[in-house]
Structure 1
Amino acid sequence: MTDITPHVLYEKRGGIAYVTLNRPEKRNAFSPEMLVRLCDVWRDVAEDREIRVALLTGAGDQAFSSGGDLGTTIPLMMRTRPPVGEWEERFSQDRKQLYRGILRGATFFKPVVAAINGHALAGGAEMVLGTDIRVMSSEATIGVTEVRRGLIAGGGSLVRLARQVPWAMAMELALVGEPVSAQQALTMGLVNRVVPPDEVMGVAEELARRISLGAPMALAKTKEAMVRSNGLPFEEAFAIESQCTKDNAASEDAKEGPRAFMQKRPPVFTGR
């Protein structure tokens, strides 16, 4: 029987986009279908004015994601075999869908919360690094393991790691290639919360809900300023911050927030 279950589940509720990697039997490894679908999902997240924040997780309780599928995606990336079937054909037409799918160089600035329900390894860890706020199961591990397979973590980790954790920690993660525990990830600042497995989604969802109370443009411009200015000299960084502040100040939401406060009522943000 042909498996017709989509490799990505996508749902929108209350300003939150719920994105679930849906191959639990394969430890949510990135298949060509999953990556093509993820690119479509992120495009919709960027364009849908009702979405304020995305919540990303993996199906099941064993893995957030184990990274690229070594039987399909990696051979197609390395061009060691021809594509077979619709999804492999679509993926092979643009192999950079791997990078866009796992949030390497994402061009939209809506916040992304990760609910790390299980092990996040190789490309799965790289995808986590592309998110903004991270809630991790106490039973999970995270590791940039590519060097153990003769590969390198080219999905964003070699740039992001040293910007997110201290240099020595970043080098150990990248060069040793061994997963670290949730508690170690918390100690080095790689994740925001470590909670029991059955609380991961609830805590992540509550964080996403609290984020969604903010004005859409203010949220996006805040993230944009922080991402684009990261690592730049102060003068250049402040220029980006000032431009984002100016852009947001011109929005209707920037007027609605103070007005609602003065009128002692909840603000009604429209994203305009």
Structure 2
Amino acid sequence: MGGTEHLTVQREGATLVLTLNRPEARNALSLPMLVGLYDGWVEADEDDAIRSIVLTGAGGAFCAGMDLKALAGKGMEGEQYRDRLKADPDLHWKAMLRHHRPRKPVIAAVEGYCVAGGTEILQGTDIRVAGESATFGLFEVKRGLFPIGGSTVRLQRQIPRTHALEMLLTGRPYSAREAAGIGLIGHVVPDGTALDKALAVAEQINACGPLAVEAVKASVYETAEMTETDGLAAELGRGWPIFDTADAKEGSRAFAEKRPPVYRRA
């Protein structure tokens, strides 16, 4: 497993847990964090034993966005990673899930601040859990900046446009309950339990057929901007091959035999 000084990686069964680990700065984005995040997504994609990913933050915060001190020219930690950015100028966007979509489901476990770049990364995740005191928002316009991590495109596709525009144009904070009310997150849980809930959801996913799970996720995103007719045709292209897999046969057999299925990605 990889990881950097600002991003820890650990395994919980078939789940890869990526933890933003810069609590003294509310997990503001740093170069080591971005490199670690990108490497984590790649590890999950390449390891068939990993069936789900949980993204969370250390120290009671998720992510407070970009390090504004670094943006102001005061330097960013982790200069030793500059060669990685030179080799792949899009690495930071992939890390933030702007230019990259892992094939495994990604579950966000949010406590505390999830603002600016944190809310932008959130939009790249698939399932979202938050502690009741979590705070969300896109604060960029208040700083005279632009939320260039994808929010002007993705947010209006994930929540009603009127709510997307209010969040984008006011730069105000949103409580977890309000974020759930507009559909930005799916679960609000007691503070300190977001990771537990996310891992519980991950376990439910891990118990399902991995080929089916990945095909379903791919189909949802692939067809999102298609017409219904084109989307239904594309769905058949993704779905029919799953019925011919050994895992599909195992699922039906296990159901008939009243036992847990043993899936082998075959």
Normalising by structure 1, report the TM-score. 0.91
What's the counterpart of residue 54 of structure 1? 53
Residue 153 of structure 1 and its aligned partner are, at CA, apart by 1.3
| Residues in 2 aligned to 1:84 and 1:53: alpha-carbon distance in whole angstroms | 28
Structure 2 equivalent of residue 11 of structure 1: 10
Between the aligned partners of 1:82 and 1:5, the Cα distance in structure 2 is: 15
Of residues 68, 71, 80, the one that matches 1:70 is 68
Distance 2:76 2:104 in 1: 36
Larger displacement relative to structure 2 (151-160 or 82-91): 82-91
CA distance in 1, matches of 2:6, 2:158: 29
Q: What letter matches 2:211 in structure 1?
A: M
Share of identical aligned residues, percent?
39
Q: Does the 8 Å CA contact 2:32/2:77 hold for their aligned counterparts?
A: no
- CA change 1:5–1:45 in 2 (3 A) is closer
- Tell me the distance in 2 between the aligned counterparts of 1:107 and 1:127: 11
Q: Distance in 2 between matches of 1:82 and 1:41?
A: 21
The answer on whether the counterparts of 2:111 and 2:194 sit within 8 Å (CA) in structure 1 is yes
Could you tell me which amino acid in structure 2 is paired with residue 95 of structure 1? P
* Aligned twin of 2:236: 242
Alpha carbons of structure 1 residues 105 and 84: separation in structure 2 relative to 1, 3 Å: closer
Report the equivalent of 2:171.
177
Match of 1:106 among 100, 109, 117: 100
Long gaps (5+) in structure 1: none
Aligned to 1:44: 43
In the TM superposition, what is the alpha-carbon distance from 1:106 to its structure 2 partner?
2.1
**Which consecutive residues of structure 2, in runs of 5 or more, have no partner in the other structure?**
none
Partner of 1:197, secondary structure, is: coil
* 1:143 aligned residue (128, 134, 137): 137
Q: Tell me if the contact between 1:109 and 1:223 (Cα under 8 Å) persists in the aligned partners.
A: yes
Q: Report the Cα offset of residue 148 of structure 1.
A: 1.6
Moved more, 198-207 or 29-38: 198-207
Q: Contact 1:145/1:178 (CA < 8 Å) preserved in 2?
A: yes
How far does residue 88 in structure 1 lie from its aligned partner after superposition?
3.2
Change (3 A) 1:7 1:117: same
State the 1:75 CA deviation: 6.1
**Quick one: which amino acid aligns to residue 19 of structure 1?**
L
Code of the residue aligned with 1:11 in structure 2: it is Q
Q: CA deviation at 1:113?
A: 0.7
Q: Which runs of 4+ in 1 moved over 4 A?
A: 80-84
Question: What's 1:24 paired with?
Answer: 23
Asked whether the equivalents of residues 33 and 91 of structure 1 are also in contact (C-alpha less than 8 Å), the reply is no
User: Which of 154, 163, 188 lines up with 2:157 in the alignment?
Assistant: 163
1:169-213, CA deviations, whole angstroms, 9 ceiling, x for partnerless residues? 011111111121111001111111111212212111111111111
